[in-house]
Amino acid sequence: MALLGEGEGHSSFSLLHALGAGYGCSIGIDLSTKIRLRDNEPNKTAEDPSGLLDAVVDTWVAAGFEKPAEELYWQDRSNVPMGQGLKSSAAASVAAIKALASACEVELTNAQIVDISAQSQISAGISLTGSVDDAWAAIEPGWKIVNPNLPAEEGILMEGDFPEPDDWKVLLVLRGERELLPDAQRFAQVAPQFERAIVAMEQGALLVALTENGRATSNALGDGKGRRLANDLLVWGARAAGISGSGPAIAALVPSYNESVLRRIEQLAEQRGHETIVTDLWTA
C-alpha cells in the first residue's frame, strides 16, 4: 500500500474572537489545505513544526479509533498562509482527521471532526480555546457562533450564510511573521469592546462584526499598526476590515463589481510592503 486516505479543510477569517467575545465565529474562504496519509515515506513530507499532525493521531487514538498503520506519513498541499490568523491549523487538522477517517473507513459526523480538531489544537499548544469556530468553518461553508466550552454538537448558538457571497471579494493583507501573541488576561480586560461585534452578529450585520471584532482584537494585542491599516483599507474603499484571528493578517471585504477599487487597495497595501491575496467566500 501507499496512499491510505486524504482530506481537505478550508481557511477562514474571524467575525468573533472567542478569547475576547466568549463566543467564536469564523467564515470559510476559498483557500484550503489538502492532506494525504501514507504508510510509506514520500519524497517530501508535510512540514509540521508545531506537532499538530502528531497531536491529531494521538487524539484520534484517545477517542477510541485505531491507527490505519503502525507508521504514518503525511503529505500536504496548501495555499493557506501559516501563522497569520487565517486558521491554517484548523484547516490542516480537519484535513488530517478526514484522511484518517478515510483510511480507517470510519464515518464521522462533522461535529465529531470538530471535537477531535479542537482537542488536537489544544494538545499541540497552538490554541487556547480549541478554535472550535475555525474547525466548523474549515468543514462547512457559512458561519456559526459557537460556545467553545461545549461539545461541538451542543455549542452552536446561531448559524447562517453570508448574504449574496458572489457580490464580495475577500482581500487578505499579510503583514509578515506573527510578533504579537494572544494573552488571555489582556483579552479579558477588553472584553466589553467585543460587545459591538456580538450585537452586530445577532443583528446579521456581518460587515460591522468583522470591523468591530478586528478593532477589539487589535486593542487586546496592542497592535496599533494593524488597527490603523484596517482603518486605511476602509478609507480606500473596503466595506469592512479587521484583524483575523490573533493576526497579523487583516481581512477586508470589497464589492466584487468594483474591480478598480479592489486593484487600488491592493496596490496601496503592496506599496507599504505587504503581500496581498484576493479570494472568495467559500460556498457549497
Whole-angstrom distance, CA of residue 26 vs CA of residue 33: 17
Band the pLDDT of 284: cuts 50, 70, 90: confident
Whole-angstrom distance, CA of residue 240 vs CA of residue 7: 32
Going from the N-terminus, what domains does the chain have, and what CATH number goes with each? 3-160 (3.30.230.10), 165-279 (3.30.70.890)
pLDDT for the residue numbered 207:
97
pLDDT of 237 over the 60 cut: yes
The predicted-structure confidence for 163-210, as pLDDT tens digits, reads as follows 999 999 999 999 988 887 888 889 999 999 999 999 999 999 999 999
The predicted-structure confidence for 68-89, as pLDDT tens digits, reads as follows 998 999 999 999 999 999 999 9
H/E/C letters for each residue in the chain? CCEEEEEEEEEEEEEECHHHHCCEEEEEEEEEEEEEEECCCCCCCCCCCCCHHHHHHHHHHHCCCCCCCCCCEEEEEECCCCCCCCCHHHHHHHHHHHHHHHHHCCCCCHHHHHHHHHHHHHHCCCCCCCCHHHHHHHHCCCEEEECCCCCCCCCEEEEECCCCHHHEEEEEEECCCCCCCCCHHHHHHCHHHHHHHHHHHHCCCHHHHHHHHHHHHHHHHCCHHHHHHHHHHHHHCCCEEEECCCCCCEEEEEECCCHHHHHHHHHHHHHCCCEEEEECECCC
Nine-digit cell string for 155: 455549542
